[in-house]
Structure 1
Amino acid sequence: MLLKRVVLTVGIVVAAGLPTAGTAVAGQESAAGRITVTDYSSGSPALVTLDPASGGVIRTLAQNAQEGVLSPKGSTVAFVQRDDTCIPQPEGCAYARNLVLAGSDGSDRRVLVPGIAPEANEAPYVALPDWSPDGKRIVYSSPRGMEWIRTDGTGQEVLTPAGGAGTFSPDGKTIAFVRTSTYETPDGWESGRDVWIMDVATREVRQVSTARDASSGPVDWSPDGQRIAYVTDNGLATVDVATGATTQLQNNWTTYLTGVQGPVFSPDGTRIAFSAVNTVDYTRSTYVAGATDGSDPQVLTSQGSTPTDWLEE
C-alpha cells in the first residue's frame, strides 16, 4: 500500500529465540526508509515513524492518533482521532472517531470526515485511511462501506458497501480491499473473506484470492503492483494479482506467531513488516520478514505498535 494501519495490545518482552529490539534487521540494504506505525507503548495511541534497521523512533507525528498515514510527499498526515465530545449512552459516553488531516509538523489540523453513525446504537466512526499516489484523494472505511474523498473535502462517495479498508495500487488505478462473500457447499451456504480489487475508473471489481481465509483489515501492495499482502486466519499471505496464486508466509516461521496485523512492504519489495503476538510468551512485537517466502522473521521493536506504511525517505 502506499499507506496503512490497526490496533493491538502492548508487548514488552521479546520472543525467545528471536533478536531483541534494537538489533539490526537482517538485510540492511533492504532496511531503508521509515516505517510509520501506531504506537501504543505509552497507553494512548501516537503516530510515529521507526528506523527499519534499529526499530528506534525517528519522529512523533501526532499524539492521540491512530491508523495514520503520510501523504506521498510526506508533508501531510491523515489519521483517525477520537473526538472529545460525549455522545450520551444508557451507560456512560460514546465518542466519535474522525478522519483528521494535519501537516507532518502538527500544523493546520482539521477534521476532513466527521465520524459516520452506524445503524446500530454505536459511536460514529471512520477508519483506516489511505492516500492516492497523487495525493488528491483518501480512501477509508466507514459504517457505509469503503468510501473516498478529495483532500479539499469535496467528492465524498461510497465506492462499495461490500468493502472496508481500501488500499491504492502504486499507480493509483486500482484499490484493493477485503470482501465477504457467500458461497454454496455440500452442507449448505457459508461465507468467507477474500482479497478483491476495484478499477477506479470503471468501478468494476474482481476477486483476486480464493482461499476464503482473509481477515478483515487493510492489505498492502508490493511496490511493483504485482502482489498483495494480507492477513489470514492462520497468519500472513501474499497473492499474485494476475494469477491469484497465494503464498502462505507463516509456513516458514520457526516460531508460531498469531494475531498478525498491519503488513506493509518495504520500498524495494523484499521485506514485509507486521505486528504479531509470539505464542511462547504472548507478547506483541513488530516483525520484519522476507516478502517472498516469509523467511527469517526478526523483531524490529518489542514496543506495542502496528505498521501502517513503509516509505522511502
Structure 2
Amino acid sequence: MLFKRVVLAVGIVVAAGLPTAGTAAAEQGTAAGLITATGYSSGSPALVSLDPVSGDVIRTFAQNAEDGVLSPKGSTVAYIQRDDTCIPQTEGCMYARNLVVADGDGSDQHVLVRGIAPETNEAPYVGHPDWSPDGKRIVYDSPRGMEWIKSDGTGQEVLTTTGGAGTFSPDGQSIAFVRTTTYETADGWEYGRDVWVMDIATRQVHQISTARNARSTPVDWSPDGQRIVYVTENGLNAVHVATGAVTELQSSWTTPLSSVQGPVFSPDGTQIAFSAMDDFDYTHSTYVVDAADGKNLQVLTDQAVTPTDWLSR
C-alpha cells in the first residue's frame, strides 16, 4: 500500500503527558509523508490522514467512510462506505458496505462494487481495498473471498475463495493475504492462519509464514518487497518473503498492547505504524516502531484511528 503522492490529509491530537508527535518523530527519525487512516473520533468512521512528523490536522476527506487508499498518482481514492438503504431483516435492517471511488478532491463519488450479501447474519459488505501499482485494478475482500476489479468497473473476478484482504506487492506482480487452513494435531483438526502470496501471472499461491497465528486483517509490504508485516494473536510480526524468517516485533515492547490493527511500513521502510490498545489503561492509540526489530515504541497519537497506508509526499 505504498504510493508516491497524496491528496488526503488530516492531523491528530497528541496524547497528554507523552511527547508530541513531532517530538517523538524527531527523536527517532520518523520518515516524512502522510499516514492515511480511518478515524472514529466523531462517533462514525471518517477518512483522515495523519502527519507522522508534526501531528498537524490537515483535512478530513470523507465522513461515513473507512479503509481509504489512494491511487498511485494520487488522483483517485477508493474507500468503503455504508449504504443508507435498509435491507429488511426479521428484526430491523442491515446496510450494505460498498466500495466507492472518487476524485482526489472528493468529487465524482460513485459505487464501484456494491456490498455482497454474505451467508452469515452480518450486514452485506466488501472491504479493505488496495490499488495495484499501475492504478488499473483494485483488490478487496468479500464474503466470496479475495476479489479484484478494474478501476473502470469492469473485470470483476474472484481471485481465491480462501483469502481475505489482499495487498499488492510494490512491483505489482504479487498479492499478499492471510489464509485460513486446517491442520491435524494429536487432538484432532484445528484451524490456523498464515500469510500467503499469490503470483498474479500464474495465480499460484504459496505460504510465507508457518506459525498459524496470523489474524485475518490486511498485511503490508515493505517498500523493497522483501518483508511483509502482519497482525498476530500476540501482537505484530514481520516475515521475510524469500526465507520465511519471522521477527516478533512486540518482543521488546515494555507497554503491553492488544487489539493491534493496521500495520503499515513507512515510505523508506525504516518504521511501522499501527493502532493498538494499551492493556494498562485500555486506551487506543496509534504507535510507531522500528521496522527492523520493533524497538523504540512511541505513541504517535491517542486519537482513535486505524492506519491504512503510509505515503510519501
- Structure 2 length-normalised TM: 0.93
Partner of 2:240: 240
Equivalent pair of 2:193/2:213 in contact (CA under 8 Å): yes
1:90 offset after TM fit, Å? 1.6
1:15 and 1:199 map into 2 onto residues whose CA distance is 46
1:15 and 1:125 map into 2 onto residues whose CA distance is 37
Aligned CA distance change for structure 1 residues 27 and 19 (closer, same or farther; 3 Å)? closer
Aligned pairs, number: 305
Residue identity (%):
75
1:32 offset after TM fit, Å? 0.6
1:15 and 1:233 map into 2 onto residues whose CA distance is 29
1:190 offset after TM fit, Å? 1.2
1:166-177 to 2 correspondence within 5 Å?
Answer: 166-177=166-177
1:258 and 1:120 map into 2 onto residues whose CA distance is 27
- Once the two structures are superposed, residues 59-85 of structure 1 have per-residue CA deviations (whole angstroms, 9 ceiling, x without a partner) of 222121101111111111100000010
Partner of 2:267: 267
Equivalent pair of 1:230/1:236 in contact (CA under 8 Å): yes
2:233 counterpart SS class: coil
1:254 offset after TM fit, Å? 1.2
- Once the two structures are superposed, residues 126-159 of structure 1 have per-residue CA deviations (whole angstroms, 9 ceiling, x without a partner) of 0000000000000000000000000000000000
2:154 and 2:25 map into 1 onto residues whose CA distance is 42
Equivalent pair of 1:37/1:50 in contact (CA under 8 Å): yes
2:184 maps to 1:184: yes
2:67 maps to 1:62: no
Report which structure shows greater RCO (CA 8 Å, sep ≥6): 1
Partner of 2:159: 159
- The letter for the 2-side match of 1:107 is S
2:250 counterpart SS class: helix
1:31 offset after TM fit, Å? 2.5
1:309 and 1:300 map into 2 onto residues whose CA distance is 15
Equivalent pair of 2:37/2:47 in contact (CA under 8 Å): yes
- The letter for the 2-side match of 1:223 is P
* Structure 2: stretches of 5+ with no match in the other structure: 4-12
1:49-128 to 2 correspondence within 5 Å?
Answer: 49-128=49-128
Q: CA RMSD in A?
A: 1.8
1:58 counterpart SS class: coil
Deviates more, 1:143-152 or 1:187-196: 187-196
- Once the two structures are superposed, residues 92-127 of structure 1 have per-residue CA deviations (whole angstroms, 9 ceiling, x without a partner) of 111000000001211110000000111234422100
Aligned CA distance change for structure 1 residues 312 and 21 (closer, same or farther; 3 Å)? closer
1:183 offset after TM fit, Å? 1.0
1:217 and 1:248 map into 2 onto residues whose CA distance is 17
1:275 and 1:132 map into 2 onto residues whose CA distance is 24
- Structure 1 length-normalised TM: 0.93
- The letter for the 1-side match of 2:219 is V
* Structure 1: stretches of 5+ with no match in the other structure: 4-11
1:83 and 1:22 map into 2 onto residues whose CA distance is 37
